[in-house]
Structure 1
Amino acid sequence: MRLAITGADGFLGWHVRVLARALGWPRPATVTRADLVDPAAVAAAVKGADVVLHLAGVNRGDADDVVAGNVEPARSLAEGLRRCGEPPRRVVYANSVQAGNGTVYGSAKAAAAELLATAAGGDHEFVDVRLPNLYGEHGRPFYNSVVATFCRLLADGAEPEVREDRELDLVHVLDAAAHLTGTTLQGPWDPAMPALRTRVALLRDRLAMFAGVYAGGEIPPLRDRHDVRLFNTYRSHRFPERGPVPLPRHRDARGDLVEAVKAHGGGGQTFSSTSRPGVIRGQHFHLAKVERFVVLRGRAQINLRRVDGTGTVRFAVDGSEPAFVDMPTMWAHNIVNVGSEELVTLFWTNELFDPARPDTWAEAVDRPGRAAAGVA
C-alpha cells in the first residue's frame, strides 16, 4: 500500500506511520505544511499514491485559526488532486463526528469535506470518515484528548479536575489508523474501531487507579483491551523520565529474593534468558503488549527509539542492583550484554505469547529500517 499523508507528524499521523511500518508497507509520502500552500507541490507529493489520507487540521484555537486550519489545507489538497497527472485511487478524510454540528470546528470540518468531495469527481473515490474521540500513546495534553490531559496531570502528580461529567465514546488511535488505511490484516488493531463508552469522571477514576498502582511498580488490573491501551497511554507520559526503577531485595542466609512483578488481576507470562558478552536481544517493537525487563545477573544496556524517530534513550542496568524497565509501546528496544560475564534477564508480559499474533515487529534500534513481523 502506497500512502500519502497530510498531517503526518500529528497524533493520528504518527500512529498511521507506525502501522504502515508494522505492516511492511513503503514509507508513506508526506504532504508537509509547506506543500499545502502550493497546489503544485501537493500534486507532486500525491502522484502515484494508492491512497491519500487527509489528516491535517486544527482542533483548538480562536475561531479564525480553526476555520483556516481546516478549510485551507483541504482547499489546497483539492486543487493539488485536480492537477495531479497520476491521481490516487482513493482519498480518505479524517473527519469528526462533530462535523456540521453548528460549532466553528464542526462547520469547518464539514466545509473541508465538501471541498474534497467536489474535487474527487470521477477520478478517485472519496471516503469521509467521521471519527469520535481518539486516545492513545503520546497524545498532546490539553489538545488531542481529555485522556492525554488526565494522563499528563497524573504523571506530574496532579489531580485532574472534572468540569463537565459528560458521556464519551473513546476509540484507540491505532484502531482509527487501521480503519482509515483499510487494512484487513489481523493484529493488535481493530479497524471496526470498538469504542469505550464512559463518563469523564469514570475515566478520571480509572486512570487515577492505574497511576496509583503503578506508582509502586505494580501492574494494575488490565481486564480488557481498553484497559491495556489506556494503561499504555498513561505509561507513555511516564517515559523516559521514569527510567530503571529499583526493586526491593530481601536478603538472608539462604541468599537474595527480588519481587520482579506484581500484577493485579492477571498473571501474564514470565520467561528468562541468558546472553553471552556482546549479545543483543530484542530489536523489535510492540503495538499493545506490556513488557518488563529485569536484569538479575550481569551488566546490560537497554536501548530504545520511538518508531520513526531518531533520538535513542539508553539505560544502564546491573544485576547487583536489580531494577525494572518497562518497554513503552511503539518504541523499538533491545538489551545488550555489556559485561564480561553471562547476563541473566527476566522478562514479563501481560499476555501469553501467541505465535499466530505475536505483536512483535522487527526493527533495529540504531539502524531504522523496514519493519516485518517476527520474534527476536
Structure 2
Amino acid sequence: MKKIGITGQNGFVGGHLYNTLGLFPDEFERIDFQKEYFEDESKIDDFVSKCDVIVHLAAMNRHDSQEVIYNTNINLTQKLINALKRTNSKAHILISSSTQEERDNLYGKSKRESREAIVNWANENGGKVTGLIIPNVFGAFGKPFYNSFIATFCYQLTNGEIPSIDIDGEVKLIYVQELVLNIIAEIRSELGQPELWVEATVSKKVSEVLALLNNFKTKYLNGGEIPVLKDQFEHNLFNTYRSYINYKEHYPVKFTQHTDPRGAFVEVIRLGIGGQCSFSTTVSDITRGNHYHTRKIERFAVIKGKALIQLRKIDTDEILDFYLDGTEPAYVDIPIWYTHNIKNIGDEDLYTIFWIDEPFNPEDSDTYFFEV
C-alpha cells in the first residue's frame, strides 16, 4: 500500500484528489497534511517521512501583487525541499505546474522554477519527480474569482449576478476528475517524468461556455428540467454548475399539481437526456441510501408519505435536512460527492420516484457507501 500525501490537500484539486484516493482503500493510504505544517519544521518533516508519494499542489494562484505570488510559490516549494533533504526522503514527488510556464509572467515563472527546483533535488538526492504541466482546470467546488473563469461564472449565475466576458479567447480545459485520474495513473506508473504535459480534454471559447451555463440556469435552475447534454464535457460542466447552487435555499422544489374530479397529475421530470426511472415504497422508520456518486445526476421525488432527505458533502460535517410531504409533492436533486439518504418519517408507506441519468451497471456503479 502506497502512502500518499498532498500539500494543498484542502484546495480545489487537492480536495478532489484526496477524496478520490479514498475510493481505493486497499491501494492507497492517505497521509493528512495541513498548511500550517509549512511553518513548523518538525511537522513537515514528520509528514514527509511518512510518505512514499507526495503530490505538491500547494500554491498561490491569484493576488493583487505578482511578486507576492512568485515569492509565495517559490518559498513553499523550498520548504518542501528542505524537509525532503532533512529526512533523506526518496519519495516520488509529483509537482503541479501550469501551461503558463510558457508565458512571461511571474506566476508562470514561479511554477516553472518550482518544478525545476524539485527536479534538481531529485537528481542530487536520488529522488523521483513527475512535473505535471497542467492546462486550465474546472470542476465542482472550485473557488470563484480564483480557480477558474468557470467557477466565477457558475457562482454568478446561481447568485443572481450577470457574468461578463473580458476577452473571448479559446481556452484549453480539463475537468478536475480527469486530471485526478491522470495524477493517480502517474502514481501507479512509478516512472517519474520531469516534464509531463497533461493534455487538455477540450478547447472552448469563453462565450461558448457561458452560453451553456446560461442554458443550465434557464432550463435547470429556473425550470427544473435536465438539459440536453451532448457530450462528456457538457455533462461535466453541468455537474460543475450544480455544485454552486445553494441547496439550503433551493430545495425541496414543489411540483405543480393539476387537479380535477378524477384526482391529480404531476410532471415529475422533463429530460433532455435519458437515464433510468424507478420507484420505491419504504415502510415507516426505514432509511434507504447512505451512499454518494462522483458523476451521476439524480432526482428524488416524494409523491406519497413523509420523508426526510439528508445530504452531506463527504469531507464536511454539515448535514442538510429536507422534509418532504406527499400532500405537496416535491423533489430534491442530489449533487456529486454528497452522501445522501431518505427516511420514512411518517406512519404510512413512503412512495418515492427516483431518476438517475444512467442505467445501473454493477460493473461501474459509481456508488460508494458512506453514512450521512
Alignment partner of 1:298 is 2:317: no
Q: Which residue identity does 1:168 align to in structure 2?
A: V
Query: 3-state DSSP class of the match of 1:67?
Result: helix
Q: What's the counterpart of residue 257 of structure 1? A: 265
Q: CA deviation at 1:281?
A: 0.8
Alignment partner of 1:247 is 2:250: no
- What is the distance in 2 between the residues matched to 1:49 and 1:27? 9
Query: Of 356, 359, 367, which residue of structure 1 is paired with 2:366?
Result: 359
Alignment partner of 1:178 is 2:184: no
Q: CA deviation at 1:181?
A: 2.2
Query: 3-state DSSP class of the match of 2:346?
Result: coil
**Structure holding more helix per residue:** 2
Q: Which residue identity does 1:213 align to in structure 2?
A: K
- Correspondence 1:171-320 to 2 at 5 A: 171-182=174-185, 195-214=201-220, 215-240=222-247, 241-264=249-272, 266-320=273-327
Query: Of 149, 152, 157, which residue of structure 1 is paired with 2:152?
Result: 149
Query: Deviations 1:5-58 (Å, cap 9, x if unpaired)?
Result: 100111111101121122235552233222113344222102232210001001
Q: CA deviation at 1:338?
A: 1.0
CA RMSD of aligned residues (A): 1.7
Q: What's the counterpart of residue 33 of structure 1? A: 35
Q: Which residue identity does 1:250 align to in structure 2?
A: H
- What is the distance in 1 between the residues matched to 2:74 and 2:139? 26
- What is the distance in 2 between the residues matched to 1:29 and 1:99? 29
- What is the distance in 2 between the residues matched to 1:70 and 1:295? 50
Conservation of the 8 A alpha-carbon contact between 1:95 and 1:113: yes
- Correspondence 1:21-170 to 2 at 5 A: 21-24=22-25, 28-61=30-63, 62-85=65-88, 87-88=90-91, 90-121=92-123, 122-170=125-173
Q: Which moved more, 1:29-38 or 1:243-252?
A: 29-38
- What is the distance in 1 between the residues matched to 2:295 and 2:352? 22
Conservation of the 8 A alpha-carbon contact between 1:49 and 1:87: no
Query: Deviations 1:312-349 (Å, cap 9, x if unpaired)?
Result: 11111111111110001011111111111111110001
Q: What's the counterpart of residue 368 of structure 1? A: none
Q: What's the counterpart of residue 194 of structure 2? A: none
Q: Which moved more, 1:292-301 or 1:93-102?
A: 93-102
Q: CA deviation at 1:159?
A: 2.1
Conservation of the 8 A alpha-carbon contact between 1:100 and 1:109: no
Q: Identity over the aligned pairs, expressed in percent?
A: 33
Query: Deviations 1:237-263 (Å, cap 9, x if unpaired)?
Result: 113232111111111222221111101
Query: Deviations 1:66-97 (Å, cap 9, x if unpaired)?
Result: 01221111000111111225542x11011111
- What is the distance in 1 between the residues matched to 2:172 and 2:287? 42
Query: Deviations 1:95-145 (Å, cap 9, x if unpaired)?
Result: 111124221100011111122112223533100001110001111111100
- What is the distance in 2 between the residues matched to 1:22 and 1:247? 36
Alignment partner of 1:9 is 2:16: no
- What is the distance in 1 between the residues matched to 2:181 and 2:366? 15
- What is the distance in 2 between the residues matched to 1:194 and 1:205? 21
Unaligned runs of 5+ in 2: 189-197
Conservation of the 8 A alpha-carbon contact between 1:94 and 1:180: no
- Correspondence 1:337-352 to 2 at 5 A: 337-352=344-359
Conservation of the 8 A alpha-carbon contact between 2:45 and 2:86: yes
- What is the distance in 1 between the residues matched to 2:290 and 2:28? 20
Q: CA deviation at 1:184?
A: 9.3
Query: 3-state DSSP class of the match of 2:351?
Result: strand
Q: CA deviation at 1:183?
A: 7.0
Q: Which residue identity does 1:56 align to in structure 2?
A: A
Q: CA deviation at 1:223?
A: 1.5
- Higher relative CO (CA 8 A, sep ≥ 6), structure 1 or 2? 1
Number of aligned residue pairs: 357
- Correspondence 1:311-330 to 2 at 5 A: 311-330=318-337
Q: What's the counterpart of residue 372 of structure 1? A: none
Conservation of the 8 A alpha-carbon contact between 2:278 and 2:353: yes
Q: Which residue identity does 1:270 align to in structure 2?
A: C
Query: 3-state DSSP class of the match of 1:197?
Result: strand
Query: 3-state DSSP class of the match of 1:346?
Result: strand
Q: Which residue identity does 2:172 align to in structure 1?
A: D
- What is the distance in 2 between the residues matched to 1:238 and 1:356? 31
Query: Deviations 1:187-224 (Å, cap 9, x if unpaired)?
Result: xxxxx865121101111111111111011111110111
- What is the distance in 2 between the residues matched to 1:356 and 1:272? 22
In structure 2, the CA distance between the partners of 1:173 and 1:344, relative to structure 1 (3 Å rule), is same
- What is the distance in 2 between the residues matched to 1:345 and 1:47? 51
- What is the TM-score with the length of structure 1 in the denominator? 0.91
Q: CA deviation at 1:290?
A: 0.3
Unaligned runs of 5+ in 1: 186-191, 366-376
